[in-house]
Structure 1
């Protein structure tokens, strides 16, 4: 299955050799740390000073300094200012965790000093610290993401593994630029050709050598020849635990890092947990979230969001209905049978964007399908009306699906609802996208929509199904607005 497309391929020796030399992980922009410290300092100190001054607190300046110091200390203890962490996450949840710790620390300080500012006012004074820190992290994340597309702030990686497994890891890493790894060489285990074009830095025998230092010397020599920062081991039957342990000893004694790829793809790190059982290192993979508080919150958000959306957008609905009726003959709304969660069919509502007999004309246009999978997509579909093009460009044609969300057939966020004829040709992997309710928006919409291939669409849907969380839904909804404004892939 192919992966989401990015403008550049990430393999040293191919696309990036024609650009500037690779800049390593330690070469992140120097302004990241000062920007983070300044944002945290001012985001905590200024609001606290203003609120406490307005409340006529006796020592507002001292309180502001204490709040800022506490906020910076909490994040320093949580290693948010370490070079490895700067710019790496734009997530809101880690910042919220830090902020809640800050609240607890200052609550203890408040009780110890008999500080008398009203609780709600004090809490409100600390809220800007959370918002400013989130904004700063998003800024550094976007800058670092752009830098890594140009091979800056990266780690040079030597991949070790059986030829097939090693090339699979290399292909996955090279197809994306949202990570710090650049493959600079491969050390295959056993015989077999490698066709990826990555420099072969040596070869390990199929069996563990009699001399324990044999593998270690070969790996260390490959690391030195390729100037690698990290050795990434791909899984395989020829890489036993004992063999891996001896290689790890040699690398760690030389001050080098070792990482092991467990063979899992697109599994969120939030679902992974390392355990020890009788001296064995065990990787536990938590099941996807299906029960508990988070699904309840999702249902509540869906119903409340759909209800308020329909109420607030009712004037817009009337305007769109009038434009559709004036633009072409036929009804303003279009109803279509779709497949929902667990294969249950339902009727999905949309604003009509095509001519009335569009379904009949679809068969005549089948040879013009521009999608490589089961969906039918044409960039210049002749069935789309003039008003319909505008509605699709702005995604306004999707708004009636709020009725489906309110009725419980759809969610605000989820995979794209498929047609029955598409589901009839699904294989076992593709059927897994029906485990959750389909959504009005999702990873598919914010990642390119119709510009994505079928494999890329399925990959994004499965990533959502397996790694869903309530906070990820909130993040997708926030990014949907930008995708709608951009309009890329909407046709």
Structure 2
């Protein structure tokens, strides 16, 4: 499968180069004759860089991680190709280079997306499965077995290596014995993946697993019970003769903070200028629909629990907050949130604005002011924060955003705790590329009205 993915990556590069040169009007087949070696080397360099970023490994990457790696790989590969061009005496135009980079990135992302969709359908049908051995106690194996048999995940559980004292056969699953039988279990089952329960991770167990998989192309995964700690914060460090896990603090400081703020100012200013004509249309629609102000100010809680005034286009009738108490019994949301699909306080125009998220356009001013970011956790109300559990407060360590993972994963449909977990995942894994990925995913989420009300 990796071979065919590499073929499509090569085609993406060649298509990008050809289109960029055709648009510039500088493509001449005769100009390549002295540099036929370059034509051969270019795809090889491209694929070598992609392989270096582990874009052809068996491990499945999260969409954000894959986006980050592809962005870095395309940038590095195109830079390498430019150096090769100068080495062979060619002087590519800067516009052609920029267009090749942009088109290569787009074509590669599209081809990878198509590959994932196709492989997802195959996995859902029961093809392209990882033959997986579970290592753990009977109870842990039962839990993992139930989770891994969900359709579309791509795991075919072929056996259980028990670390407990008593062996029990689970739902027809073969038990291969204890860890000392792992080598024969792998050989007999034809496993290409070993999934370890968290309590099975002992020095002795890891040493045995390492010995068994050393000469075999087997992927090892560990189920973590550290649900409140994101793996991006964990680093393995050598401390003298000890191996330790180091837990990083969650703060955007220094270059990271500067990069995120720069992105907010540049893209926020651009979005503000482009959307200005729409502001007039929305304002006129609100005034014609109901009496009251066009813009609505509300106190929200921002970074480090500091309050600020958020701006929105008004979508409710005047006096809506006074009506809230009488509607609490109809609340459809979980946790401290209040959500009502058919909220009687929402105006006709307000319902339309909310459906397309146009009521949030004025928050671009909050972004430019520095109270908010384009991407981040949604800013909560003070009364919501008062009802937070301790771990919910972790979402307040960064600037709140206009959009975020909650926006592209279901918007109003998510339970509150899942909402917070998505926020924490974003905070733990932040990068400029991740912000760009979420912004790109926000557009189809809004157009498809995913979970909006």
TM-score (norm 2): 0.84
Deviation at 1:385, TM superposition (A): 1.6
Partner of 2:97: 123
* Aligned 8 A contact 1:187 1:200 in 2: no
Structure 1: 5+ residue stretches without partners: 1-27, 205-213
CA RMSD of aligned residues (A): 3.7
Partner of 2:192: 229
Residues 156 and 455 from structure 1, CA distance in 2 versus in 1: closer, same or farther, beyond 3 angstroms? farther
* Aligned 8 A contact 1:48 1:67 in 2: no
Secondary structure at the aligned position of 2:253 is classed as coil
Q: 2 CA distance for matches of 1:289 and 1:183? A: 39
Residues 341 and 193 from structure 1, CA distance in 2 versus in 1: closer, same or farther, beyond 3 angstroms? farther
Partner of 1:135: 110
* Aligned 8 A contact 1:87 1:140 in 2: no
In the alignment, does 2:84 pair up with 1:109?
Answer: yes
Secondary structure at the aligned position of 2:340 is classed as coil
Q: Show CA shifts across 1:267-298 (max 9, x none).
A: 77765655556676655555445123232121
Partner of 1:215: 179
Q: 2 CA distance for matches of 1:193 and 1:369? A: 48
Structure 2: 5+ residue stretches without partners: none
In the alignment, does 2:97 pair up with 1:97?
Answer: no
Deviation at 1:246, TM superposition (A): 2.8
Partner of 2:406: 444
* Aligned 8 A contact 2:405 2:426 in 1: yes
Secondary structure at the aligned position of 2:282 is classed as helix
In the alignment, does 2:319 pair up with 1:346?
Answer: no
In the alignment, does 2:273 pair up with 1:332?
Answer: no
* Aligned 8 A contact 1:32 1:86 in 2: no
Partner of 2:382: 420
Q: 1 CA distance for matches of 2:286 and 2:293? A: 8
Range 132-141 or range 258-267, more displaced = 258-267
* Aligned 8 A contact 1:156 1:181 in 2: yes
Residues 106 and 121 from structure 1, CA distance in 2 versus in 1: closer, same or farther, beyond 3 angstroms? same
In the alignment, does 2:73 pair up with 1:73?
Answer: no
Secondary structure at the aligned position of 2:44 is classed as helix
Residues 361 and 81 from structure 1, CA distance in 2 versus in 1: closer, same or farther, beyond 3 angstroms? closer
1:221-300 alignment, distance < 5 Å: 228-236=191-199, 239-250=201-212, 256-261=218-223, 263-265=225-227, 274=236, 284=246, 286-288=248-250, 290-300=252-262
Partner of 1:372: 334
User: Paired residues, what number?
Assistant: 449
Range 342-351 or range 28-37, more displaced = 28-37
* Aligned 8 A contact 1:99 1:130 in 2: yes
Q: 2 CA distance for matches of 1:50 and 1:86? A: 36
Secondary structure at the aligned position of 1:231 is classed as strand
TM-score (norm 1): 0.78
Q: 2 CA distance for matches of 1:174 and 1:43? A: 40
In the alignment, does 2:17 pair up with 1:54?
Answer: no
